[in-house]
Amino acid sequence: MFDATALNRRSYRAQGIAKAVFCLMTVALVVPVLLIIGTLIYKGGPAISWEFLFTPPRNGMTEGGVFPALVGTIWLVVVALLASVPVGVAAALYLSEYAPDNLLTRTINLAIINLAGVPSIVHALFGVGAFVHFFRFGTSILAASLTLAVMTLPVVIVATREALQAVPQAFREACWNMGATRWQTIRKVVLPNSISGILTGVILEVSRTSGETAPIMFTGATAFIVFLPESVFDQTMAMSYHLYYIATQQTGVPEEITFGVALVLIGIVLLMNAISIGFRVYLRGLKKW
């Protein structure tokens, strides 16, 4: 048995300190999340019921439920995903698999980075000018969802590029040596092996799209509406805007209803994320490397 040298003892001590620091950082990230969820459950849990989930607000939003806002949020998220995911994946495929390293490509990458840093209220003003007035979609689900799609497009592009670049280059070269074209290689090999990473971008987009308020305030969301939307050209309620309105604009709303709306909104995000993560885990298990 060898005695530890002074160098070994210093190394072990430094490793222990680093481990403790990283553990504290992890706890510092997890504890606020648990406190937020715990507070929402404690204060908003009593309001949660089938009636709360499946009835519209009543009596100036001081009674009733959140069903129109719940349906409207699903509309906004689904339409935004349909608009942004195909465009984002196509852009990432071009940048990763086709585009040469030149001034145009670097300019596109810079534009993506800048787009990710634009405040959400600026996206709202862009949505009003572009989709509400220029394309004449009016204040509608389509205008609001397209605004959200533009805002979250960088997330999809970056996540897809990382997933595509994680596929070993040897896979591509093996296909090319067998006579496959570049598109056949992408369609049959690259995309199937990167789909789980692409879903990471989709998960992040769902989380951000569900909780955004500013981009939909001026483009498609309304404070109160009785009927459910029948098409993408209708206005709709949304959980995030409904929560903002009853918490800051409407008086006489019971505290448990406000926290109940926040709890349902968090539940929607967690449910959508759980479905996406489960599908991603399943696809990751099909990988052959």
Listed as ranges, residues in the chain with pLDDT below 50 are none
The pLDDT value given to residue 188 = 86
Domain contains 1: no
Does residue 135 share a domain with residue 42?
Answer: no
Looking at residue 249, what is its pLDDT? 85
| CATH assignment at residue 107 | 1.10.3720.10
User: Do 278 and 243 sit in the same domain of this protein?
Assistant: yes
Percent of the chain with pLDDT over 70: 96
Residues 24 and 89 in one domain: no
Whole-number pLDDT of residue 170: 87
pLDDT for the residue numbered 2 = 58
In a domain, residue 60? The reply is yes
Residue 22 and residue 68 in one domain: no
13 domain-assigned: yes
CA nearest to 70, candidates 242, 235, 244 = 242
- 34 shares its domain with 62: no
pLDDT of residue 7: 77
pLDDT score recorded for residue 289: 57
Q: Residue 251 has what pLDDT? A: 84
Q: Are residues 40 and 54 in the same domain?
A: no
How many separate domains does the chain show?
A: 2
Which pLDDT value is given to residue 242?
92
Q: Are residues 245 and 191 in the same domain?
A: yes
Determine the pLDDT at residue 281: 77
CA-closest candidate to residue 264, choices 70, 99, 120: 70
In this structure, the answer to whether residues 149 and 224 fall within a common structural domain is yes
Predicted pLDDT of residue 41: 92
| 280: in domain | yes
Do residues 177 and 43 share a domain?
no
Distance CA 275, CA 281 (A): 10
Let me know if residue 88 belongs to a domain: yes
pLDDT of the residue at 17: 92
The answer to whether residues 38 and 151 belong to one domain is no
Judgement on whether residues 31 and 170 belong to the same structural domain of the protein: no
Return the pLDDT at 286. Answer: 66
Tokens 């439920």, residue?
65
Q: Which of 255, 270, 238 is nearest to 77 (CA)?
A: 238
Q: Are 284 and 71 in contact (CB under 8 A)?
A: no
- Residue 131 and residue 221 in one domain: yes
Domain range for residue 143?
50-285
What's the pLDDT score for residue 72? 93
Tell me whether residue 202 is in a domain. yes
Distance CA 245, CA 241 (A): 6
